[in-house]
Amino acid sequence: MSKLKGLSLFANVGIAEAYLKSIGVDILVANELDPERAKFYQEVYKDSKMICGDITDKKVFDEVIKESQERNIDFIIATPPCQGMSEAGLRLEFDERNYLITYAIEAIHALKPKFVLLENVPKQLTTKIKYNNEIILIPEYIKKELSHDYNFNKETLIMAKDYGVPQLRERNIFLLVRKDLPYIWEFPEKQKEITLKEAIGEIPSLDPLLREGLEETKKRFPDYEKKRENGLKVSKWHKPPIHSWKQVEWMMHTPSGKSAIYNEVFYPQKPDGTPIKAHHNNYRRLKWDMPCRTITQNNGVISSLACVHPGRPYTMGTETLYSDPRVLTIYELMIVTSLPIDWPIPNWANESFIRKVIGEGIPSNLVKVIVQNLLKQIE
């Protein structure tokens, strides 16, 4: 029997919700702006009423409220887009996306749910918006609007790595409990960190598929086909990522945890040999002995932030090279995001789309353990 009936705002494809039904929370209504994401969500969560559209449109907002009222929604999870605040974004002052939180607040006022989970990047704590002719921080705005009716958690910053997720990913999460209820909702006790070696160390090694073609790939990597077949035996999502040879060669000479920009010979360079200017975390391999670095939406590109497989050393002639000169596969991304490995990704979804939505999602197990900490009291 369902303990809570939920509404998901800014639902993405439902990564946050992956375990909620199994612990007694039914997300009965969801809203997502992007039609492709909404379609993905509806195929995964067939029992939810997905309302696809812009929540800033009054008709869409009213439909969300109407459907939620009819289903007696008592729980809201809202994850407004973070690109206006994210360290990886432009962070324009008063970015219009930062105001989407106001629609979540309006929904809370309209529905008066028992519990609310509001998630965003840590930068939200120092981001300002214009409110009633004054400029205030977003957390101050949220509390001005809701503190009369809701109690808030004391600590709001949380690291996914502390809650059964093999990924660092820091988040700011407000947990709200309506004041007429006797519950105190805080984060649970921290768990032991899971390293990348523990999470994906036993998954078969893969060579990348070179953009230069299959024949060139086999020439450079004689075991490519054998490794590919072994990978597909594990999961259809553990398949070789596609990269250009020049980038692959740079990473073959880059040890675990290091960036190729520090290589003496095989460093990122232009055709004329000029070094490519890059951040110290670009072209960087992950480390085996710690959780994965924060996954971004650009996780399929070697030059992006710390997204290359840790690799293992091997000898070829007199050279020491490193295996798996590639980004993590979608299967590996699912693991470090703590998604169920049998999560039913629709077959029509292409790889770049899947990578983007995973990079923007909240780690599933993080949401699960936080909500479980509330449900224990309700039980």
Catalytic residues: 82
CA distance 117 to 139: 14
CA distance 312 to 262: 18
Distances (CA, A) of 82 to 13, 49, 91, 241, 342: 16, 24, 9, 27, 28
355 touches 299 (CB < 8 A): yes
Quick one: which of 246, 242, 237 has its CA closest to 207?
A: 242
DSSP 131-185: ETTEEEEHHHHHHHHHTTTEEE-S--EEEGGGTT-SB--EEEEEEEEETTS----
376 touches 31 (CB < 8 A): no
